[in-house]
Structure 1
Amino acid sequence: MRELLSPLGLAALLAFAPPALAQDSGEDGATTPTEAETTGETAGTEDAAAAPTQTEAEQPQAYVRDTFTDWRVICAPVADGREACTMQQLLLDANENAVSKVSIAALPDAAAPRVAGIEIATPLETLLSRGLRIQIDASEPWTVPFTYCRPDSCIAQFSVEGQQLDALKAGAEAAVAIIPLRAPDQPQEVTMSLSGFTAAFESLQEMLPQ
């Protein structure tokens, strides 16, 4: 059977970019899962804005700070001697190819009721107008819209509130359904393990400025 999703490019796999929501505690640009369900169908390829780019020299030097089962905490220096950290996981297809990457950042109290910013990268040949469907164990699935595309991947950025975060902490795994552009009737599901999720997220919360 032909592969409907291409593996993520090397640049996408190595890129360190904390979800924008982690850097902005204001109201603009945030999309909760509930809101996303009503907007996911309207985000099309033509609406995906070009992502800002950085030269390799400008890219922060990220490193693995810690590992919690299936999640790695990745940090990189930012201004004023501080570090930006996210928890990350590569999502693999049946052939063990990395076709998606999840990055999650803890949000400060000022962002309440939002508690986490999430960024999910998918291959370029993704049907953007259908959004990205996420289902935790056997719970009701929800859909988030894509935000923009980079030269090597397309990005869905959104935030979650306490109830959604609790579901992620309590779950065993989440199915992420990506719709291939070439075969929209054949959604490709990849599994996001939630093993180690709670410990990894709590470590991020401990690193937030007080």
Structure 2
Amino acid sequence: MMFKSEKKMRAALSVLAVMFGAASAPVSSFAQDAAAQGPAQGVGAPKLGWYKTCSKQEDNDICVVQNLILANGGQLVTAVGLISVSGKINRKLLQVSVPTARLIPPGIMMQIDGGKGQKLDYAVCLPDKCTAEIPLTDAMIASLKKGSDVIFTSINFRRAPNPIKISLEGFTGAYDGEPVTENKLAESQRSLQEGMQKKADEARKKLEEAQKAAKAQ
């Protein structure tokens, strides 16, 4: 019976991996080729920051502390999820999702405040994202709580490193605090969508003005 439960929970965790960044559109070349020269931060889209959601599945409670980094158009750049399962099964995982077209063997390297890197091996690749994971330890959680920022570096198909820096501001509050309600999450997502739409409108307006100026010359 326990073996079957383990299989079910692995399937559930795989579903969670699919859910990270589920609100984002298919990954564009912009997200795939984001800055190879240095850690990209604030790549354009407004952010939800760190937040926690919890749900119950059979006899297990599942909480996920996550942070999504999106491009202006809503495309996934990096999604981070710290998964805690308690009940019949007790397990903690750190999962990181990045765009496709990654080199698999290098995995994703995690570095907190410029410290020693920790490799996450890829667990699954889907049409729109690849997800790497590693067991989540108490030491890792403590380092994230103490840290200022974390960098996740994947290697794209051009063999160029793609480092993404994420601020750890708000992480401790999200991890130790209460999960967000569905209404609060929906409100935050609406604000995020409105912010992305505003940026898209501004970019379109600038392009139209540039085209008009070019024609006038």
Matches within 5 A, 1:1-210: 70-76=49-55, 78-79=57-58, 84-92=62-70, 98-108=76-86, 116-181=92-157, 183-184=158-159, 186-203=160-177
Residue range with higher mean Cα deviation, 123-132 or 84-93: 84-93
Question: More helix per residue: 1 or 2?
Answer: 2
Taking every aligned residue pair, what percent have the same amino acid on both sides? 24
Query: Alignment RMSD, CA only?
Result: 3.7
CA pair 165-133 structure 1, distance change in 2 beyond 3 A: same
* Contact 1:93–1:190 (8 Å) recurs in 2: no
How many aligned residue pairs are there? 141
Where has structure 1 moved over 3 Å in runs of 4 or more?
75-80, 92-98, 107-112
Structure number with bigger Rg: 2
1:56 match = none
TM-score by length of 1: 0.55
Q: Could you tell me which runs of 5 or more consecutive residues in structure 2 were left unpaired when the two chains were aligned.
A: 23-47, 180-217
Q: Distance in 2 between matches of 1:111 and 1:75?
A: 16
Q: Which amino acid aligns with 1:102?
A: V
1:49-91 CA-partner distances (Å, limit 9, x unpaired): xx977xxxxx9xx9xxxxxx821223445337x7633111112
TM-score by length of 2: 0.53
Q: Distance in 2 between matches of 1:109 and 1:77?
A: 10
CA pair 173-76 structure 1, distance change in 2 beyond 3 A: same
Q: Distance in 1 between matches of 2:132 and 2:178?
A: 21
Q: Could you tell me which runs of 5 or more consecutive residues in structure 1 were left unpaired when the two chains were aligned.
A: 1-22, 30-50, 54-58, 63-68, 206-210
